[in-house]
Amino acid sequence: MRAALYMRISQTDEKFDKVELQEKRLRKLAKDNGYTVVDAFSDDGVSGWSGKTRHGWLKLIDGVKAKDFDIVLATAEDRFTRNSEEKMGFQVECAKAGVKWHTLGGGQLDPSNAPGGLMGTISGAIAQYESTVKSDRLKARFEDETMNGKPLWGTRPFGYARNRIDLEPEEAAELAWAYLTIQDGGSVYSIIKKWNQEGVLTTQGNPWSWATVQQMLKRPRNAGLVVRQGVIQEGITAVWEAVVTREDWEATCAILSDPKRRTAAGRKQSHLAAGLITCGVCGSVMRSARANLKGVSVPIYRCATKMNVQSDGRRHPTVQTDILDPLITEAIVAAFIFGPTNLIADHKAVPTDDLQAKLSKVRGARQRVVSLVVDDHISQGEAAKQLDSLKKQEMGLEGELAEIRRTSAQGAMALGLKASLFTGKRVDFAKAVDAKKALRERFTSLPLIHQRELLKNLLSVTVDVGRSRDRIQITHLRATSLNEVPEAQ
């Protein structure tokens, strides 16, 4: 008789032989009974109850239908399947094709005759019951482990050793740094860029992506929290070490979940108003994008909410850059001509190299403090004091740099304007037309970073839905008198 062998074992079937040993035993069974083995099929690590695709099983059924063999050998009937309905279907196919079964424990069975069919159905029902009991036992075990604050098995979490309890020092230090980065206003992209450039990979050896970093930072276990069915279990103390405090974890999750938070990939901006203007519908920032207009791809500004995978169902605005950018330019020019005189005061260039070096030093010190905490060289209380002091230094240096960028942008824009525009303390309107043209040319020739600095400090821009000019609201922050009358064109 032509025989086919079928071997299967799931990951939790510890009492059954591995597929290699099953095949060895079945080949001996075939030899002892004078069968000729014409094919062998196996499913390694796949449950017969889970409903997952079993490619070996499907090929076996195809062979039965094609009558490629006369008998199927398995170590036990529940190696075929633990699902009674699935087994009944297999029994019917074997009966139609005249294919018999032979198992090590049950001997030869003919699914087409009444006793054989009955025995097959009973065996399937018993196997299904045992599978259900095993599932219940696993659920009870999961419940017990969770209630005792123990980690369940699975992929090793980033920041933790293989036992899922002890910290992996280098990864834990990187993880703590990532939390500080987000809380200090950094982006997910900056974390991705640093880790991928430095070869810090996920525990599965893959580069980081926006989704994997977000998922990892929002993981409650990093704060020593136990979760059951997606709910934090208050009052249960985890046996594993926490990387960050619950307060830091919650603060970071709140930042990452903020719909107004910048979610673009931290790239250098290439458009004047990207990220600096506001959607009039939802209050989110508007970012640069591209749209197809009559077959031509054109740059636009689009509400960040509209870019999300899950939109809120409302209509959000878009506006072409070649419509909005000139309006912003004219508004900035008007602010310099008709705004307060300190906008065109003489500005001296201030070098920033020393400040940048100090800022880098302070940020490096913050990261070293985090590493000391992770390695238990200093207490969390002492670390908190040092980090608070360093944070204040960092904020002070960032404030100084921001002021220098602002005044540098204004200085570059107003260079020589004071003498040419004013007669005494009054604007010489005869010179204003020429000054306006000069300012417009000067603004467009500035580096984009200076143009954006001027926009950020001089204007507030909101765009609503529609097509008319009125949907664009430009409010002057410094030249406030221009908010009361139409701007001169």
Percent of the chain with pLDDT over 70: 71
Rounded CA separation 26/5 (Å): 7
Q: What pLDDT score was predicted for residue 85?
A: 66
Rounded CA separation 474/453 (Å): 16
Q: What pLDDT score was predicted for residue 118?
A: 47
Ordered DSSP codes for 346-415: -------HHHHHHHHHHHHHHHHHHHHHHTTSS-HHHHHHHHHHHHHHHHHHHHHHHHHHHHHHHHHHHT
Least confident of 266-275, 307-316, 444-453, 473-482: 307-316
Return the bridge partners of 167, or none.
160
Rounded CA separation 270/288 (Å): 8
Q: What are the tens digits of pLDDT across the range 86-109?
A: 777 788 888 888 899 999 878 888
Task: Say if residue 294's pLDDT is above 60.
Answer: yes
Would residue 380 count as lying in a domain? no
Please report which confidence band the pLDDT of residue 187 belongs to, taking 50, 70 and 90 as the band edges: confident
Q: What pLDDT score was predicted for residue 353?
A: 61
Rounded CA separation 88/78 (Å): 12
Would residue 108 count as lying in a domain? yes
What's the distance, CA 45 to chain centroid?
30
188 and 126: one domain?
A: no
SS (H, E, C) 53-83: CCHHHHHHHHHHHCCCCCEEEECCHHHCCCC
- The pLDDT of 42-52, averaged and rounded, is 66
236 and 313: one domain?
A: no
Rounded CA separation 462/281 (Å): 9
Least confident of 265-269, 296-300, 340-344: 265-269
46 and 136: one domain?
A: yes
Rounded CA separation 178/252 (Å): 10
437 and 465: one domain?
A: yes
Task: Say if residue 64's pLDDT is above 70.
Answer: yes
Please count the structural domains in the chain. 3
The listed range with the strongest mean pLDDT (53-62, 96-105, 212-221, 316-325) is 316-325
Task: Say if residue 382's pLDDT is above 60.
Answer: yes
Place of tokens 């207009």: 293
- The pLDDT of 392-421, averaged and rounded, is 64
CB neighbour list of residue 157: distance below 8 Å, 6 or more residues apart: 164, 203, 219, 221
The listed range with the strongest mean pLDDT (49-53, 160-164, 449-453) is 160-164
- The pLDDT of 117-134, averaged and rounded, is 50
Would residue 69 count as lying in a domain? yes
Would residue 356 count as lying in a domain? no
Percent of the chain with pLDDT over 90: 20
Contact status, residue 72 vs residue 3, Cβ threshold 8 Å: yes
Would residue 18 count as lying in a domain? yes
Rounded CA separation 218/248 (Å): 11
Task: Say if residue 389's pLDDT is above 60.
Answer: yes
Q: What pLDDT score was predicted for residue 293?
A: 84
215 and 100: one domain?
A: no
CA terminus-to-terminus distance, the chain: 97
Compute CA distances 178 → 216, 248, 275, whole Å.
10, 11, 23
Would residue 152 count as lying in a domain? no
42 and 123: one domain?
A: yes
423 and 308: one domain?
A: yes
Q: Is 446 left (phi over 0), alpha (psi -120 to 50) or beta?
A: beta
**Regarding predicted confidence, which is higher, 487 or 209?**
209
Q: What pLDDT score was predicted for residue 430?
A: 57
Phi and psi (nearest 5°) for 279?
-75, 130
Q: What pLDDT score was predicted for residue 130?
A: 52
Under DSSP, is residue 458 helix (H, G, I), strand (E, B) or coil?
Answer: helix
- The pLDDT of 243-271, averaged and rounded, is 71
204 and 336: one domain?
A: no
Least confident of 82-91, 155-164, 294-303, 402-411: 402-411
Domain limits for position 119: 2-143
- Which of these, 117, 76, 75, lies nearest to 95 by C-alpha position? 117
Return the bridge partners of 42, or none.
7
Task: Say if residue 112's pLDDT is above 60.
Answer: yes
Please report which confidence band the pLDDT of residue 299 belongs to, taking 50, 70 and 90 as the band edges: very high
CATH number where 57 lies: 3.40.50.1390
Please report which confidence band the pLDDT of residue 421 belongs to, taking 50, 70 and 90 as the band edges: very low
Please report which confidence band the pLDDT of residue 37 belongs to, taking 50, 70 and 90 as the band edges: very high
Q: What pLDDT score was predicted for residue 183?
A: 81
- The pLDDT of 117-122, averaged and rounded, is 50
455 and 312: one domain?
A: yes
Please compute, for residue 263, the number of CA atoms within 13 A of its CA located in the half-sphere on the CB side. Answer: 20
**Regarding predicted confidence, which is higher, 380 or 338?**
338
Compute CA distances 341 → 411, 450, 478, whole Å.
12, 20, 10
Please report which confidence band the pLDDT of residue 419 belongs to, taking 50, 70 and 90 as the band edges: very low
Phi and psi (nearest 5°) for 17?
-65, 155
Q: What pLDDT score was predicted for residue 376?
A: 59
Average pLDDT, the chain: 77
